Structure 1
Amino acid sequence: MELSLREYKWYVKGYWPWVPVKGSSMEIGTELMGVTDWLPATVPGGVHQDLYQAGLIQNPYQDLNSLHCEWVENRWWVYKTTFERPPISGSKVELIFKGLDYEAIVYVNNQCLGEHKGMYHPAVFDITEILDQHDHMELVVVLKQAPDEMAQIGKTSETFTQKSRFNYKWDFSTRLVNVGIWDDVILRVHNEYSLRDVYIQTDMDNGEGVVRVSAAAMSNMEDLDPSTDLKLSLQVTDPQGGSAGEITYDIQAGQKLPAAELRIPSPQLWYPNGYGEQPLYKVEIKLSDSARQFDSWTQYTGLRKLEYVSNEDSPSEALPYTFVVNGKKIYIKGVNMTPLDHLYGNVSESRYDWIVHLAKSAHMNMIRIWGGGIIEKPYLYELCDRYGIMIWQEFIQSSSGVDNIPSKRPEFLELLKISAVEALRNRRNHVCLTVWSGGNELMSAPNTPSTYEDENLAILKALVAEYDPQRLFLPTSASGPVQYITPEKGVSHDVHGHWKFQNNPHHYELYGEADHLFHSEFGVDGVSAVKSIRKFLSPDHQHPVPMTDSFVWRHHGEWWDTYDRDMNMFGSIADLPQFVDCSQWIQAEGLRFILEANRRRQFHNSGSIVWQLNEPWPNVSCTNLVDYYKETKMAYYWVKKAFAPEHVSMDYRKLNYEAGENFAAPVFVHRNDKSAFTKVRALVLDSSGVELHVQHFEGESAGGRSTMLGELKFTVPQTENGLFFIRLYLETGTTGSVENIYVMSTVKEHVYAPALSMNGAALTVEAKNEWVQSAEIGPDGCEIMNKVFVVTNTGTEAALFVYPQEQTDRYWMTADRAYDCIFPGEKLEVTVTCMEKSGELFTKPEIRKKDECFINGNPVIEFLYFGCHKHVPQTDATEKAASVAVATA
């Protein structure tokens, strides 16, 4: 039995270091005051949000405000709560802090229970006697100042903590070091005997599903007979709620049952997203004797066989980078995830729910949980179990730039072992967990990833072999033998890089010719949504500027300045909305090409993991697909298209051509699964939609492969504005048609400058239905809603990159398609999905008044396109009225 203490009233107070321990001055004898009074606190949470709610700090995500908050990490913070003895009975009661950040002293009724250091393993205290002696409890937690750990630029060899390092300044974050109780606080009540060290493995054998469970039975009282006969029962319930089998074993207290096994005929198999369904079986373990039940344990898991094989034509010394589930090779369509917030203790379940929804909707099948961040809370893994998102889990280690050598400091290795064992024991039972890694970009020498021979990584490898032997352990990411992508042939296995658009034509030459086996981190930077930038930059800073010329812009993403790049591609850029349009276009174009180039080599290349899905604080520019406020960028939708189960692509090597030049590019069809006879139609169009060339391809496209159907050939046209469009249609029997579009130019300099002069588009939008609740339900029953719109271009020129935007700012929004081009006379049907926001930080109730921006309780959707940031006329009367009302407010 567990009782959470999160619902009690918690308070927090700040002190200078050591003052809470000393209490009063030895010189004058009076109580030493704190740097704050007692403030209401949130547990789980972090100090910064509590200080903001109390008015003691300004929003640290606004402008340069975080610089004025750095004092917080250098104070000691005391949390306290009081509660009456709960009506519980048991042989033993433990007080458990699941996440203290970072070094703490814990007291109950002025009695020191002990000290704790480390974020990723619980602080556990036996309070059975205290509860027996007292009816009223005062719980006090003293958190010392945050340790002075390495930021991104530093020495990995000198790291000494198991604290999340991105807090100390990374390329996508500022220095804002979290302090607080970042995970739940519980009372765990034990009877005489308890289950310990439960481990579930699932497998397939001769067509049967196999559930193997090991567990230990532990006694909780010193005077109990250690040879007491107990029974351990294993029950499995199928996804429809019927019995899939049960079995009971005899076990003695103190004994570990090595492998209880239950076989399930005709199992319903778990597959990664895009390859099948994700049915989950309920596994229950009960510990009892002939008279009573002492303990129970429940987990939902999927039945699947997990294997790892070498890539096709892989060098013999290469690690196995191809993942196989139920006999199917799974091409990795992945994304790297940073923590969702600097203040990771304050992240609500709804924010996790929406970020996983975004991953699933974009056809992603793997999330790499990066070693410079955190070992995420169990809820994330539960969501990934449910939606088929495989997890690449790194231990908490990362590169540091000055040196990247894994730390060998004794205190660090001891903490690393403790947190690694905790992570292994508590994450291995999730079917989504697919691979472990020693950390991020650990290198024994420049451009040389560390190997299993490193003492640090050898420890982790042995721990994985002991606690989770069914899963692969990679020494680091990238795992070598060279760290970074290179045009040199035959030396790249798992590589990282680059994180910038490599310019035209070098970007296409590099990625189009590379031969790496796996691409576990790379990206292209792009500016955040206008809607988001206006939330965290004050009006004086809401105009495009190089980061060399603005300390505020530099503070929000100094590594990711796209100003010069975008000026080079587009020429002069007028204002912030236009700058966002241009920057996001190049990010999307650059990422799309990398993904398609990798996928064309499937399974010589086993997959791509984009850096990065999200960001933990608001950047003006970053390599993310989704900005801090969960606004999806153009790159998100082009990645979604490149990851689709069925996709068509073109292999090109530059963006601009001379009029009259012979154009030639192979056309490829990509499929997740089944082979099929395939037809592809290629159109070359000008900006007004006139067809300049048509070509047809057909043939058998292989399942789980990329198939070249032929070569697109034509003479490059001289168009009125210098742009021409290549549109590929993949005709399929299941989805009707899959479309991909490439924008090419005959302009030598400022390749895409003509797009800024296109002004002949005119969109109308019709809502086909009212908002409909989705079958998918968010956390706490939060409603997810869908609505279908038909967008028509009644103008004379193409509307480039049409996308919906939610206007009330009370909903997160995504769409089944966005950033498509609509040519004159064409219609596009778009399904928009919304979920009401909750759990956002640094907001106060009075900021958004419901009557002003919450129209009829529903989202308000507008459609925009490249170069257009005005309200779009809508033919649906209700929608039109709603838009006008929001504009007025």
Structure 2
Amino acid sequence: MEILLNELNWELKGYYPWVPYLQKSVETGLELNGVTHWIPATVPGGVHYDLYRAGLIPHPHQDMNSLLCEWVENRWWLYRAQLTIPEFSKHKLELVFKGLDYRATIYINNVELGKHEGMYHPAVFDITDKVSQGESITLEVLFEHAPDEVSQIGKTSMTTTQKSRFNYKWDFSTRLVNLGIWDDILLKITDKVAIGDLYLTTDVTDGGQGDIQLSVEFDTADDTLFNEYSLELQCWTPQGTLISSVTSKIDSEWKLLMNLKVDKPQLWYPNGFGEQALYKVLIKLKLQDIVIEERQMETGIRKLRYKQNIGSPKDSLPYTVEINGINIYIKGVNMTPLDLLYGNVTKEHYAWIIRLMKRAHINLVRVWGGGIIEKEWFYDLCDRNGIMVWQEFIQSSSGLENIPSKHIGFLDLLQKSANHAIKLKRNHVSLTVWSGGNELMSEPNKPSTYEDENLAMLKKIVNRLDPSRLFLPTSASGPVQYITKEKGVSHDVHGDWKYNGMSNHYELYGEADHLFHSEFGVDGASSLKSLQKFLSPAHLKPSSVRDELVWRHHGEWWDTFDRDGEFFGPVTDLNQYVQRSQWIQAEGLRFILETNRRRKFNNSGSVIWQLNEPWPNVSCTSLVEYYGDSKMAYYWTRKAFAPIHVSIDYRRLQFKVGEAMEASVILHADQICGKVTVLASVLDEKGTELYEQSFEGTPTLQTALVLGQFSYLISEGTPELFFLRLQWSVDGRSTGKNLYTFSTSLIQPYHASLGFKGGQLLIDEKETDWKTSHNESESIILSKQYTIANIGTEVALHICPIEESDLFWMEAEGAFESLFPGESQIVTVYCMYKQGGAWLKESNYEKDELIGTLPIIRFQAFGHESIKKIEVIHESFVSPLH
């Protein structure tokens, strides 16, 4: 039995280092009271949030306030709570701390139980003989100041801790070093025999039968009792029908291996390739006929294999994932922790971010080695939504030198972290790849290999504890680290992370021949809505980080001011700056995704850097902003990752009059379908058709299909800005469209877009009421359709909805599409009540106060100073219910 202790009345107090050991001054004999009073504490959580709630630090997101919070990491922090010991008739009573951050000493009634170091393995203390039933005890956890650790810039070989490093300053976050209890605290009551480590694996036999295998180890205080115990294993279908029950006696080795066969199994597939059928597995430990312990797990039945890419060198690693006999083209994202205060992240926040992945056709998430090993709820959601997990151990590059640490203390901690993580995460069907860490290099531009002592140790642990899964030494895994135009040297590469220019960007990615692309990105600004939350009015104007310290503090590496000026010219309006920046991010990222996908399965996939950001940036490579809103690049990623997609292979955005624009038209498909017909049209801003060409073909699943060559002569009548639109249908049914923007101007090629009036939009609700549904966290999802029509005379670019009440997370089907005169489309908006943790709680939906409140939706198009200046003929706004 486990009793959760999170909801005790936890308190927190701060001290200068070592003071709690002394308690009274040697000189005066007076009590040393500490640097704070006792304040309420959140468990799980982090010290910073509790200090903020108590008014002891300012809001760290606002402007440069985080600099005023850096003292926190240099103090010692004492948590305490009163606990009444329940009645227990079992053999053993344990205190289990699942996540302590970072060095801690644990006490009961001022008596030390022990010390603990490390975030990723639990601190467990047997208190059976130290307490009595019904006794009220004081439980205390004392944290030392944060260890001195390497931030993004430093030397990896000097790393000595298993502490999340992104807290120490990374390009997408400030320095805010977390301390505290970041995961659950349990009181665990067990019998003389208890279920220990579990290893649940599944496979599919050659005959198509499902195979569920369970390996169990038992914890016991008496080796002679094995004859008295048995284990029952039950299996239930995804629909809830019991299909198998097996009971086995436990032998003297206190280990058990059990198998269940499932006829005609419902298989588990990654997102976009089939359903995510999950079987319930019930494990019952019995003393004679009495159940003394029970565990429930979910698993998917699937056959997992790894293969070399088509045409890959013999010495390359197997980068193609095969599930149930199907080669899975990886459409992935890299995920950082959702918040600098990772202990406060809510189940609802996890559910929202997983929803965004699934809706964008993403099928793999790389849990990055500079962050954390996530909580169990995250992996449960990945199982349920078909998101394969690439889990890295907590190691990362450091810029100056990236050699994996060989420090004896570090290797011991890494081993403990790896052992615990593998034993826990291997039971998730979504787990697909292990990796030694992020960008570990034994010498510049050469990723470390299995020969490295550190990585050899991890490989040995993975092979012992989870032998069915691939272990990559690091990401990228080489043989060169960074993307290059040089042929024949790239397997798995990283880079680049900036838009590389109107010609070089397309040449670099279009000519590369890497087998896998496990990290790359393009930067873009956060929305005006987000910027207004953390920038004071004096800083709400377009600027370069060279000139604006506050902007530099919120995303120094990701300044797009000059880049966007080269496309559009000068800018003074902040919302226009945001729109321009997000457009170029979306354009640059789309090309990378499409050009990688054209080489399927010579290239086995793309993993975008990055999905999210853990603190609010003015600009970043993220697809989703800190507050949960999605950028234009998210929606263009969603389109590029669609199961059926058509693209063109171009190498530049600018053309001179008299030149021919020639580009292959390529069909991408992840599912079998009928004949695909594509109409390629060149249009001006008024929607006038300047040229048209059609293509057709039937897709294959193993490779992209070149449908033909598009060719258009840039004549004297071609406007400064012209558009190439692809529209496709499957067996006559309209399926999708893709729009590219080109220019005949050699300077500021997109400047002409600023002269468009944005069309004349007719926005109407397709339904009066919002529809409701629920997600995995039982949060309500509201949805509603809007019809958008352009009844003006010029194109309306990148039309998107904005949720204005700020009580909801929102995503939409049909966002950031463009409408030419006379065209219309349906936009379906989906909203979920905000239930974020830590700093995000400030904009949470509070059910008791706002029951019945509905989203407020507005729309904006590109090029306008604010959303209210779009000319709207009719718009039905949604008001709160009475």
Cα displacement string for residues 377-421 of structure 1 (whole angstroms, at most 9, x for unaligned residues): 000000000000000000000000111000000000000000000
Q: Is the 8 A contact 2:855 2:878 kept in 1?
A: no
Show the counterpart of 2:249: 250
Q: Does 1:175 align with 2:171?
A: no
Matches within 5 A, 1:679-694: 679-694=677-692
Show the counterpart of 2:421: 423
Show the counterpart of 2:446: 448
Show the counterpart of 1:548: 546
CA pair 496-735 structure 1, distance change in 2 beyond 3 A: farther
| Paired AA for residue 429 in structure 2 | V
Tell me the secondary structure at the aligned position of residue 649 of structure 1: strand
Q: Is the 8 A contact 1:672 1:705 kept in 2?
A: no
Show the counterpart of 1:388: 386
Show the counterpart of 1:348: 346
CA pair 636-191 structure 1, distance change in 2 beyond 3 A: same
Provide the alpha-carbon RMSD of the alignment: 1.9
CA pair 846-712 structure 1, distance change in 2 beyond 3 A: closer
Tell me the secondary structure at the aligned position of residue 625 of structure 1: coil
Residue 87 of structure 1 deviates from its aligned partner by 3.6
Q: Is the 8 A contact 1:12 1:79 kept in 2?
A: yes
Residue 682 of structure 1 deviates from its aligned partner by 0.7
Cα displacement string for residues 716-744 of structure 1 (whole angstroms, at most 9, x for unaligned residues): 24557511111101111496321000011
Residue 676 of structure 1 deviates from its aligned partner by 2.8
Q: Is the 8 A contact 1:670 1:704 kept in 2?
A: no
- Higher deviation after alignment, 400-409 or 754-763: 754-763
Residue 256 of structure 1 deviates from its aligned partner by 1.1
Q: Is the 8 A contact 1:271 1:278 kept in 2?
A: yes
| Paired AA for residue 319 in structure 2 | Y
Show the counterpart of 1:489: 487
Tell me the secondary structure at the aligned position of residue 60 of structure 2: coil
Q: Normalised by the size of structure 2, how large is the TM-score?
A: 0.97
Matches of 1:255 and 1:574, distance apart in 2: 72
Q: Does 1:607 align with 2:605?
A: yes
Matches of 1:825 and 1:374, distance apart in 2: 50
Q: Is the 8 A contact 2:363 2:386 kept in 1?
A: yes
Q: Is the 8 A contact 1:732 1:738 kept in 2?
A: no
Matches of 1:316 and 1:62, distance apart in 2: 53
Matches of 1:249 and 1:430, distance apart in 2: 24
Q: Is the 8 A contact 1:151 1:400 kept in 2?
A: yes
Tell me the secondary structure at the aligned position of residue 493 of structure 1: strand
Matches of 1:451 and 1:421, distance apart in 2: 20
Q: Is the 8 A contact 2:269 2:386 kept in 1?
A: yes
Matches of 2:430 and 2:740, distance apart in 1: 35
Matches of 2:747 and 2:764, distance apart in 1: 39
Matches of 1:776 and 1:595, distance apart in 2: 32
Show the counterpart of 1:467: 465
Show the counterpart of 2:638: 640
Tell me the secondary structure at the aligned position of residue 601 of structure 1: coil
Residue 772 of structure 1 deviates from its aligned partner by 4.0
Residue 775 of structure 1 deviates from its aligned partner by 4.1
Cα displacement string for residues 352-388 of structure 1 (whole angstroms, at most 9, x for unaligned residues): 1100000000000000000000000000000000000
- Higher deviation after alignment, 583-592 or 25-34: 25-34
Tell me the secondary structure at the aligned position of residue 566 of structure 1: helix
Matches of 2:673 and 2:321, distance apart in 1: 20
CA pair 850-463 structure 1, distance change in 2 beyond 3 A: closer
Matches within 5 A, 1:335-374: 335-374=333-372
Tell me the secondary structure at the aligned position of residue 675 of structure 2: strand
Cα displacement string for residues 37-65 of structure 1 (whole angstroms, at most 9, x for unaligned residues): 00000000001110111111110011000
Tell me the secondary structure at the aligned position of residue 488 of structure 1: coil
| Paired AA for residue 72 in structure 1 | V
CA pair 771-881 structure 1, distance change in 2 beyond 3 A: closer
Matches of 2:535 and 2:88, distance apart in 1: 51
Cα displacement string for residues 184-215 of structure 1 (whole angstroms, at most 9, x for unaligned residues): 10111102211111000000002001001100
| Paired AA for residue 514 in structure 1 | A
CA pair 648-124 structure 1, distance change in 2 beyond 3 A: same
Show the counterpart of 2:317: 319
Tell me the secondary structure at the aligned position of residue 356 of structure 2: helix
Residue 21 of structure 1 deviates from its aligned partner by 1.3
Show the counterpart of 1:83: 83
Residue 575 of structure 1 deviates from its aligned partner by 1.3
- Higher deviation after alignment, 129-138 or 471-480: 129-138
Q: Does 1:823 align with 2:824?
A: no
Aligned length: 879
Matches of 1:299 and 1:117, distance apart in 2: 29
| Paired AA for residue 237 in structure 1 | W
Matches of 1:425 and 1:248, distance apart in 2: 23
Pick from 834, 837, 850 the counterpart of residue 837 of structure 1.
834
| Paired AA for residue 786 in structure 1 | S
Residue 870 of structure 1 deviates from its aligned partner by 2.7
Matches of 2:582 and 2:642, distance apart in 1: 20
Matches of 1:180 and 1:562, distance apart in 2: 36
Pick from 503, 506, 530 the counterpart of residue 505 of structure 1.
503
CA pair 53-414 structure 1, distance change in 2 beyond 3 A: same
Matches of 2:748 and 2:471, distance apart in 1: 46
Show the counterpart of 2:45: 45
Residue 28 of structure 1 deviates from its aligned partner by 1.0
Show the counterpart of 1:288: 286
CA pair 776-849 structure 1, distance change in 2 beyond 3 A: closer
Matches of 1:800 and 1:336, distance apart in 2: 29
Show the counterpart of 2:796: 799
Matches of 1:162 and 1:84, distance apart in 2: 33
Q: Does 1:857 align with 2:853?
A: yes
CA pair 345-253 structure 1, distance change in 2 beyond 3 A: farther
Cα displacement string for residues 432-471 of structure 1 (whole angstroms, at most 9, x for unaligned residues): 0000000000000000000000000000000000000110
- Higher deviation after alignment, 14-23 or 388-397: 14-23
| Paired AA for residue 151 in structure 2 | A
Residue 174 of structure 1 deviates from its aligned partner by 0.8
Q: Is the 8 A contact 1:771 1:785 kept in 2?
A: no
| Paired AA for residue 813 in structure 2 | D
Residue 288 of structure 1 deviates from its aligned partner by 1.1
Q: Does 1:867 align with 2:863?
A: yes
Tell me the secondary structure at the aligned position of residue 71 of structure 1: helix
Cα displacement string for residues 728-778 of structure 1 (whole angstroms, at most 9, x for unaligned residues): 011114963210000111111011111111115111211111444454425
Matches within 5 A, 1:756-767: 756-767=754-765
Q: Does 1:107 align with 2:125?
A: no
Residue 227 of structure 1 deviates from its aligned partner by 4.0
Matches of 1:275 and 1:239, distance apart in 2: 18
Tell me the secondary structure at the aligned position of residue 248 of structure 1: strand
| Paired AA for residue 85 in structure 2 | R
CA pair 539-849 structure 1, distance change in 2 beyond 3 A: farther
- Higher deviation after alignment, 667-676 or 321-330: 667-676
Tell me the secondary structure at the aligned position of residue 478 of structure 2: coil
Show the counterpart of 2:782: 785
| Paired AA for residue 203 in structure 1 | D
- Higher deviation after alignment, 446-455 or 297-306: 297-306
| Paired AA for residue 801 in structure 2 | P
Show the counterpart of 2:16: 16
Residue 291 of structure 1 deviates from its aligned partner by 3.2
Matches of 1:640 and 1:503, distance apart in 2: 23
| Paired AA for residue 215 in structure 2 | S
Q: Is the 8 A contact 1:496 1:519 kept in 2?
A: yes
| Paired AA for residue 438 in structure 2 | N
CA pair 874-195 structure 1, distance change in 2 beyond 3 A: farther
| Paired AA for residue 603 in structure 1 | F
CA pair 601-847 structure 1, distance change in 2 beyond 3 A: closer
Matches of 1:197 and 1:784, distance apart in 2: 37
CA pair 497-843 structure 1, distance change in 2 beyond 3 A: closer
Show the counterpart of 1:592: 590
Q: Is the 8 A contact 1:17 1:145 kept in 2?
A: yes
Q: Is the 8 A contact 1:722 1:746 kept in 2?
A: yes
Cα displacement string for residues 791-847 of structure 1 (whole angstroms, at most 9, x for unaligned residues): 111111000001111010000000112111111111110111000001243367699
Matches of 2:731 and 2:809, distance apart in 1: 33
Matches of 2:387 and 2:842, distance apart in 1: 35
Matches of 2:556 and 2:268, distance apart in 1: 42
Percentage identity across aligned positions? 54
Matches of 2:26 and 2:391, distance apart in 1: 50
Matches of 1:322 and 1:365, distance apart in 2: 13
Matches of 2:841 and 2:44, distance apart in 1: 19
